[in-house]
Homo-oligomer: A and B are copies of this chain.
Amino acid sequence: MLPFSRVTVIGLGLIGSSIARAVRQHMPSVRVTGFDADPSVRETAVRIDLCDDVADTAGTAVIDADLVVLCVPVGAMGVVAAEIAADLPADAILSDVGSCKESVIEAVRAALPEAVFVPAHPVAGTENSGPEAGFASLFHHRWCIVTPPEGTPGIAIERVLEFWRRLGAEVETMEPAHHDRVLAVTSHLPHLIAYTIVGTASDLEEVTASEVIKYSAGGFRDFTRIAASDPTMWRDVFLANREAVLDMLQRFSEDLTALQRAIRWGKGDELFDLFSRTRAVRRSVIDSGQDDARPDFGRSHD
């Protein structure tokens, strides 16, 4: 039994277009309708045959759906929820893919207090954006965290979990507030740090921008990948998950200051101890199947 038969995806960027492709691959009998606020994205979606149907408005996109997935930046979730309010079928399940959940739940509830809303967050992505960046296998073996607010009917939660399982994801449920703390450290803080260091490196006077690029294989290039992620999406994430991000940032800054002090005072043992500990974390990431074991992410050296 398929969990849904008519899925609407609002927002056809990397994640939305990957969902559309994955549904067509894994559940080919499901009808997929898409909508994007940007007319050029809608045109591209039609041209590359992303969905069975691309609607002209958010309202018409949801009119016949049994699942609606909001795949827009978290700061736009409330606006989009309001746009579909008049047309969302009463028995449809509403979901989303936002990287933070408390603020999204609040925004969607304000616009659609009666809707059955099952928030979800597939922890997957690449640094590319837009309808042509998506691919059907993006969610394979990645975690999708579902964060149902209290009172969400169990059957609705189970259907959304099953939807993500069908797309190849592992699923987990979590309290929205805890989700936002966990992702602040595993995703939001790393992005913030990467954006910062790439900015710092670009602003030096004595080291030219071309030198920074040229010698980036020493480590810097890894950070540029994350710092190439969608600017609108990430601006919204930091503003929406502000408290958790600032708290993690505070801890990071304290640890960085301690390391700075160890370097200044030549405390090699402290450095060595930390660097040995972090090496073990890498092994766990690989053992858990969350990264490629091949050196250098499997980058080609030929």
Interface residues of A (CB under 8 A from B): 99, 123-128, 133, 135, 137-138, 140, 142-143, 145, 172, 178, 181-183, 185-204, 206-207, 209, 211-229, 231-232, 234-236, 238-239, 242, 245-246, 248-249, 251-253, 255-256, 259-260, 263-264, 266, 268, 271-272, 274-279, 281-285, 288, 290-292, 295-302
Contact = CB atoms under 8 A, between A and B. Distances in A.
Given A181-B206, A198-B278, A213-B285, 17 more contacts: A127-B296, A140-B301, A186-B215, A186-B219, A187-B215, A187-B218, A188-B218, A190-B218, A190-B219, A190-B222, A193-B223, A194-B278, A196-B252, A216-B291, A222-B223, A239-B268, A242-B263
Main secondary structure of the interface of A (DSSP, over half): helix
A186 B301 contact: no
Contacts of A223: 190, 193, 222
B199 A274 contact: yes
A295 B196 CA distance: 21
Contact of A195 (B203, B264, B274, B299): B274
15 contacts: A172-B214, A178-B206, A183-B218, A185-B201, A190-B197, A190-B220, A192-B256, A202-B277, A213-B288, A216-B288, A222-B225, A228-B283, A232-B272, A235-B272, A298-B300
Nearest to A295: B126
Nearest to A206: B181
Nearest to A212: B186
Identical chains in the assembly: 2
Contacts of A239: 263, 266, 268, 271
